[in-house]
């Protein structure tokens, strides 16, 4: 029965009509209640109960003011009373560029003469940046003529010198500025002019990016092959824009290597391009369906994501909310045990024994959630149970983490780059971003100076030599590193 609320309410003439009205109104109320519940849940969705990033939260809880022990007033900003001061250590004299001796005044306040004592002095050092200007080298390529046939010859450039306006360091610097320091091309252009007295066009900057991209091609391809052979890999993905069109940035990372690729779709084929179709390691990721081609026994669902799912369920009313609360309690216990294991306060055998009842109770609660009467909760629980083996790989297999925090930390830098750059404009730009993100992130993981590495790679490219490898040189496996 449909109601037109612009008219007065209908009047029942019989008990049967009244019951029909009650039934129709009850149906409308149930539908409206369901819509209200859905909208309230949507309104209350934030980074703590969903996959939304913290930056997307519509509001943030106010931080509580810190209070000193037994004090009612908030602590003042800066170092507190009794805090040991930290000052810059003086450089040894052999590392000082110049020394200026400052003599005291000639006459004391009493009128007496002041005799300087060079053996006693107070040291004070000041650091200054040098004035930077480009080093310009002109190559005069001499012509010559063959005395026999009269053919004209022009001298080639020296080995390792490119036929471009920018040298090795200048080219690498532009790549670092735009690909690692998140500067736009125009900001890079201004910086080079203001700080380095080097005027360049936007086209020159774009060409330098292409050169850096080509210089990094070989070591990045090596890293792609390497990551696909690792025993434990973390993966994540986020959106990317090319000329306003939505694409996807994919990341696979271990403790020492990170690989980024850009693909047009967020699908299983893209995941296979990243990990390799024959991937046989353990994948740590969220529950996204693009990874479901990997055997469940070779996966570990991120418990940070699962915790947010359970937080969402716990905020619902009735049986669903109760189930969410109980699972959250077991998750807290689980992480307490995990931290004790990581800190060396518990053996893995003891950890596995302590996790048995937690595993049993969580799976039982998820099973209970499949028939709790709340449709969304039932679907979530069914989907998790379908891959329940992926919940506990970190318990059974040494070297596997319970969360995907490593990948989320690495991909966060790209997200910041995306916010300031507004994406790329071409496939060439995509390759530059892929290779720079892969190179600089891997350098960070290995503790290498990424600027010096890019310079070395560009120098090798100009000399037609292979770029330095970024493959880890440590003998121990990545899996052993994760377990350490």
Under 8 Å CB-to-CB from 138, ≥6 apart: which residues? none
Total number of residues shown for the chain: 484
3-state secondary structure of 11: coil
Q: Locate tokens 């379908």: which residue?
A: 386
C-beta of residue 430 within 8 angstroms of C-beta of residue 213:
no
* Residue of 407, 429, 428 whose CA lies nearest to 418: 429
Strand partners, 113: 107
Q: Indicate the pLDDT class of residue 39, thresholds 50, 70 and 90.
A: confident
Q: Distance between CA atoms of 127 and 145, rounded to whole angstroms?
A: 55
Residue 367: how many CB atoms within 10 A of its CB?
A: 14
Query: Cβ contacts of residue 445 below 8 Å, gap of 6+?
Result: 253, 255, 256, 257, 258, 410
Return the minimum-mean-pLDDT range out of 83-92, 200-209, 340-349, 455-464: 83-92
Kind of pairing between the strands at 282-285 and 299-301: parallel
What pLDDT score was predicted for residue 270? Answer: 96
What phi and psi values does residue 95 have, to the nearest 5 degrees? -100, 5
Rounded to the nearest 5°, which phi and psi values hold at 44?
-90, 10
Residue with structure tokens 């091309």?
185
Looking at residues 244-271, what average pLDDT do you find?
Answer: 96
pLDDT value, residue 421: 84
Instruction: State the pTM of this model.
Output: 0.79
Sorting pLDDT into bands at 50, 70 and 90, what band is 23? Answer: confident
Residue pair 322/328 in contact (Cβ under 8 Å)? The answer is no
Comparing CA positions, the residue from 218, 245, 287 lying closest to residue 438 is 218
Burial of 16 (0-12, 13-18, 19+ CB in 10 A): exposed
pLDDT digits (tens, 9 = 90+) for 403-420: 999 999 999 999 999 988
- What separation in angstroms does the CA of 73 have from each of 61, 67, 69, 76, 467? 21, 6, 10, 9, 59
Q: What is the CA radius of gyration of the chain?
A: 33
Tell me the average pLDDT of the chain: 89
DSSP reduced 3-state for 282: strand
**pLDDT tens per residue, range 122-179:** 999 999 988 888 989 999 999 999 999 999 999 999 998 888 899 999 999 999 999 9
CA distances from 394 to 114, 321, 348, 402 (A): 75, 27, 11, 6
Contacting residues for 446 by C-beta, under 8 A, at least 6 apart: 256, 470, 472
Strands (E), 254-290: 258-263, 282-285
Is the CB of residue 96 less than 8 Å from the CB of residue 125?
A: yes
**Do residues 299 and 320 make contact, with C-beta atoms less than 8 angstroms apart?**
no
Read off the tokens for 47: 């980074």
User: 3-state class of 108 per DSSP?
Assistant: coil
Helix (H, G, I), strand (E, B) or coil at 277: coil
CA pair distance 354, 359, nearest whole angstrom: 9
Tens-digit pLDDT profile for residues 361-402 = 999 999 999 999 999 999 999 999 999 999 999 999 999 999
Lowest average pLDDT, out of 304-308, 318-322, 392-396, 420-424, goes to 420-424
- Confidence band for 69, pLDDT divided at 50, 70 and 90: low
In sequence order, which residues have a C-beta less than 8 Å from that of residue 201 and are 6 or more positions away?
A: 189
Q: Residues of 46-76 as b/e, b for ≥16 C-beta within 10 angstroms?
A: beebbeeeeeeeeeeeeeeeeeeeeeeeeee
């Amino acid at each position: 029965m449909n109601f037109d609320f612009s008219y007065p309410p209908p009047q029942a003439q019989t008990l049967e009509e009244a019951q029909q009205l009650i039934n129709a109104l009850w149906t409308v109320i149930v539908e409206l209640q369901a819509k209200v519940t859905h909208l309230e849940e949507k309104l209350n969705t934030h980074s703590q109960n969903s996959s939304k990033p913290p930056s997307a939260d519509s509001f943030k809880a106010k931080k509580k003011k810190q209070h000193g022990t037994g004090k009612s007033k908030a602590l003042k900003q800066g170092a507190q009373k009794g805090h040991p001061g930290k000052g810059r250590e003086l450089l040894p004299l052999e590392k000082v560029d110049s020394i200026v001796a400052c003599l005291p005044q000639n006459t004391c306040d009493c009128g007496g003469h002041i005799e300087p004592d060079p053996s006693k002095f107070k040291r004070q050092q000041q650091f200054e940046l040098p004035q930077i200007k480009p080093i310009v080298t002109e190559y005069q390529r001499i012509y010559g003529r063959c005395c026999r046939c009269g053919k004209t010859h022009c001298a080639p450039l020296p080995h390792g010198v490119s036929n471009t306006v920018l040298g090795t360091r200048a080219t690498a610097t532009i790549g670092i500025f735009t690909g690692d320091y998140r500067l736009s091309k125009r900001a890079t252009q201004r910086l080079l002019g203001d700080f380095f007295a080097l005027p360049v066009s936007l086209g020159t900057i774009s060409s330098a990016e292409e050169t850096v991209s080509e210089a990094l091609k070989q070591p990045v391809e090596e890293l792609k092959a390497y990551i696909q052979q690792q025993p434990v890999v973390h993966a994540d993905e986020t959106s990317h824009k090319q000329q306003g069109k939505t694409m996807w940035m994919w990341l696979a990372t271990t403790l020492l290597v990170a690989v980024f690729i850009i693909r047009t779709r967020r699908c299983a084929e893209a995941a296979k391009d990243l990990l390799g179709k024959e991937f046989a390691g353990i994948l740590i990721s969220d529950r996204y369906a693009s990874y479901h081609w990997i055997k469940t026994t070779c996966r570990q669902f991120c418990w940070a994501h699962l915790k947010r799912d359970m937080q969402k369920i716990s905020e619902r009313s009735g049986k669903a909310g109760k189930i969410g609360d109980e699972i959250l309690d077991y998750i807290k216990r689980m992480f307490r045990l995990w931290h004790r294991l990581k800190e060396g306060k518990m053996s893995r055998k003891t950890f596995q024994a302590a996790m048995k009842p937690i595993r049993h109770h969580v799976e039982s609660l998820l099973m209970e959630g499949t028939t709790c009467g709340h449709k969304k909760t039932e679907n979530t629980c069914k989907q998790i149970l379908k891959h329940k083996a992926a919940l506990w790989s970190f318990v059974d297999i040494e070297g596997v983490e319970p969360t995907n925090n490593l990948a989320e930390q690495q991909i966060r830098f790209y997200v910041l780059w995306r916010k300031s750059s507004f994406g790329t404009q071409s496939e060439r730009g995509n390759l530059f971003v892929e290779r720079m993100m892969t190179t600089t992130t891997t350098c960070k993981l290995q503790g290498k100076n990424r600027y010096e590495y890019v310079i070395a790679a560009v120098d090798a490219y100009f000399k037609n030599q292979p770029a330095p490898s970024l493959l880890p040189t440590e003998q121990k496996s990545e899996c052993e590193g994760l377990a350490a």
